[in-house]
Amino acid sequence: MSGTPSAAGGFVRRVGLFQAIAINMSQMCGIGPFVTIPLMVAAFGGPQAVIGFVAGALLALADGLVWAELGAAMPGSGGSYVYLRQAFQYRTGRLMPFLFVWTAMLFIPLIMSTGVVGFVQYLGYLVPDMSRTTGDLVGLGMVALVVLLLWRGIEHIARITAVMWAVMITSVLLVIVAAATDFSAARAFTYPAHAFALSTGHFWVGFAAGLTIGIYDYLGYNTTAYMGAEIKDPGRTLPRSIVCSILGIMAIYLLLQIGTLGVIDWERMTDPGDVASTSVASAVMEETWGKGAADTVTVLILITALASVFTGLLGGSRVPYDAAREGVFFRPYARLHPRHRFPTLGLATMGVITAVGFLIGRHTDLATLIQLLTTVMVIVQALAQVVALSVLRRRQPGLRRPYRMWLYPLPSLLALAGWLTIYGYADKNSPGRHPIEWSLAWLALGLVAFAVWARLEKVWPFGPKEVSEEYLAAPPPEAEPAEA
């Protein structure tokens, strides 16, 4: 992540449209759909849970258009870090990019924690007698293994990512095809009474929970925005990669969700004692093609989970490092391992938070962990970025915008409404867990940390306010044709 535009000697723009779409989709579709289908069914109370995936896709599309305009206008590497710094520097200096890094250090490893929880859940299918303590130890051991592998320095990351993508796609396609061979339309499309009673508060609480789970499953549609300095013709490629990847993943998720509901009775997914509530893909394979096929797909899902945590921590550990290197975070995070050249403190911090998040998810439930990570992310990234789009249109009207949001400001308002719905219903969907209060506490702690850091670095509000409008003066990126 670098907050400045791509320059000579820096990143090379070599990622075309096809590669950009593949990068986004590989980040969007990890173990998520394999563990959230039962959660979605439980939230809605029936097979009408498909609404949740559609609503999540609509929110992702609306929010994706925000990312598309900002990414096309400021095609450096860094994503939200860059956009928030450019938009809010006029009044609050480096506060917003600092808070983004602060919250990213929590929500990125919490996302990885869900992968560890999913790993242990599906391992339980292969080892049904595994105790809770054993499961806890396996999950913690998995986190330690990933950190150890990354600590030693790993080369050929592109190959590992490609293998993960191939394994994930194979797993999804096998489940979809298997479900199609024994699909029951009556089972998939028979809804309980009052399933669509829009006038009841129960429906909207379930809808908010489903929207939260849905957007969690689509997270990753903005990956190419973080790689803006490496994208060919970013003014065209970035918006297209975001929209196409969301539509592609939506088609995959709908086929997977509807196919699963056509094989497994939805009541089984809400029964904690049924394997379908924790390992629904394995249950589908066993129901259709037998135990051997189920075991094989379960192993593929375990590989997907391990690889997703590996690549997630690999990239996430670089966020505080790059911010510290550019003078927007605590300096110790800018240190690299003397031999293997990776950010030691960032990796160690995120490894510990991943382990803690895993234990929270294991001893509460996965839905609570998803609620916590989304509420932490909403204020400083999602909502702030919607505001940043309008601020930059007013503050930097001369900024080159090769893509302007369709129907502005309607997508921004739709994204704003979606994120506020997720945030506003978070406590109701996690009773007794208080995700809103925890997110506000983390934000308040971040403000204190910023005050300490700003005092040490003698920047605003304890020093001069630095304003840099480098993208206004930057020449347009070289427009190379995107690869087909």
CATH code of the domain containing 290: 1.20.1740.10
Q: Mind listing the pLDDT tens digit for each residue in 156-202?
A: 555 666 677 788 888 889 999 999 999 999 999 999 988 888 877 78
Q: What pLDDT is stored for residue 478 in this prediction?
A: 60
Q: What pLDDT is stored for residue 155 in this prediction?
A: 53
Backbone angles phi, psi at 423, to 5 degrees: -70, -45
Residue 480 predicted with pLDDT over 70: no
Q: Which of 170-174, 304-308, 361-365, 376-380 has the lowest mean pLDDT?
A: 304-308
**Residue 92: inside a domain:** yes
Residue 154 predicted with pLDDT over 60: no
**Residue 146: inside a domain:** yes
Mean per-residue pLDDT, 404-426 = 95
Amino acid at 122: Y
**Residue 475: inside a domain:** no
Residue 372 predicted with pLDDT over 70: yes
Task: Estimate to the nearest angstrom the gap between the alpha carbon of 321 and the chain centroid.
Answer: 20
DSSP 261: H
Q: Mind listing the pLDDT tens digit for each residue in 112-140?
A: 999 999 999 999 999 999 999 999 999 99
In angstroms, the CA 386 to CA 419 distance is 10
Q: Mind listing the pLDDT tens digit for each residue in 31-42?
A: 888 999 999 999
In angstroms, the CA 251 to CA 57 distance is 10
User: Which H/E stretch holds residue 117?
Assistant: helix 95-126
Q: What pLDDT is stored for residue 479 in this prediction?
A: 46
**Residue 99: inside a domain:** yes
**Residue 325: inside a domain:** yes
Place of tokens 């970013």: 234
pTM: 0.89
CB proximity list for 319: less than 8 A, separation 6 or greater: 1, 81, 101, 104, 105, 108, 346
Q: Which of 26-40, 167-181, 298-312, 470-484 has the lowest mean pLDDT?
A: 470-484
What percentage of the chain reaches a pLDDT higher than 70? 94
Q: Which of 13-27, 50-64, 105-119 has the lowest mean pLDDT?
A: 13-27
**Residue 153: inside a domain:** yes
Mean per-residue pLDDT, 326-354 = 88
Q: Chain-wide mean pLDDT for the chain?
A: 88
**Residue 11: inside a domain:** no
User: Which H/E stretch holds residue 138?
Assistant: helix 132-151
Higher confidence at residue 440 or residue 226? 440
Q: What pLDDT is stored for residue 10 in this prediction?
A: 52
SS3 195: coil
Q: What range defines the domain where residue 283 resides? A: 17-188+199-465
Q: What pLDDT is stored for residue 1 in this prediction?
A: 42
**Residue 478: inside a domain:** no
In the chain, the number of structural domains is: 1
Q: Mind listing the pLDDT tens digit for each residue in 341-352?
A: 778 999 999 999
